[in-house]
């Protein structure tokens, strides 16, 4: 089932962002920390169905690095009943346009340890 969403350019996304529409960055934590649209909420792509109810109501602008994952995210939001948009060119296009980007301290490396090693401790 293909859910309807719209791909939007940077000027349209900026106008929506300035009017208070929700920007959701769907990248991994390390990518989000390295630079995201100012005020964007971080919800990794695979967590959208589980965290949707925690987001405020209204339009959702899905964002990733270049626009590929955000299209999948916008489709997921639409399938789950939200009016959604995907930013063409992602944060790279946003930053290239000179628009506000925030950087966070790196979340640090993830420790990858198998579940059975934890059990043996």
For every residue of 22-33, which 3-state class applies, written as one string?
Answer: EEEECCCHHHHH
SS3 96: helix
User: How far from 12 is each of 38, 63, 109, CA to CA, in Å?
Assistant: 16, 13, 35
**What is the overall mean pLDDT for the chain?**
87
Domains of the chain: 6-120 (3.40.250.10)
pLDDT score, position 56: 93
pLDDT score, position 106: 55
Catalytic annotation, residues: 64
Rounded to 5°, the CA angle 108-114-120 comes to 115
pLDDT tens sequence across 47-106: 999 999 999 999 999 999 998 999 999 999 999 999 999 999 999 999 999 999 999 875
Residue 113 pLDDT grade (very low, low, confident, very high; cuts 50, 70, 90):
very low
């Amino acid at each position: 089932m293909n859910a309807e969403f719209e791909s939007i350019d940077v000027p349209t996304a900026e106008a929506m962002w300035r009017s208070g529409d929700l920007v959701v960055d769907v990248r991994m934590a390390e990518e989000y920390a390295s630079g995201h649209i100012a005020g964007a909420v971080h919800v990794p792509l695979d967590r959208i169905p589980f965290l949707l109810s925690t987001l405020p109501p209204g339009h959702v602008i899905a964002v990733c690095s270049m626009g590929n994952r955000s299209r999948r995210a916008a489709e997921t939001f639409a399938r789950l009943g939200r009016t959604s948009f995907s930013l063409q060119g992602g944060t790279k296009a946003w930053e290239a346009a000179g628009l506000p980007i925030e950087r966070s301290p790196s979340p640090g490396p993830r420790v990858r340890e198998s579940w059975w090693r934890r059990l043996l401790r």
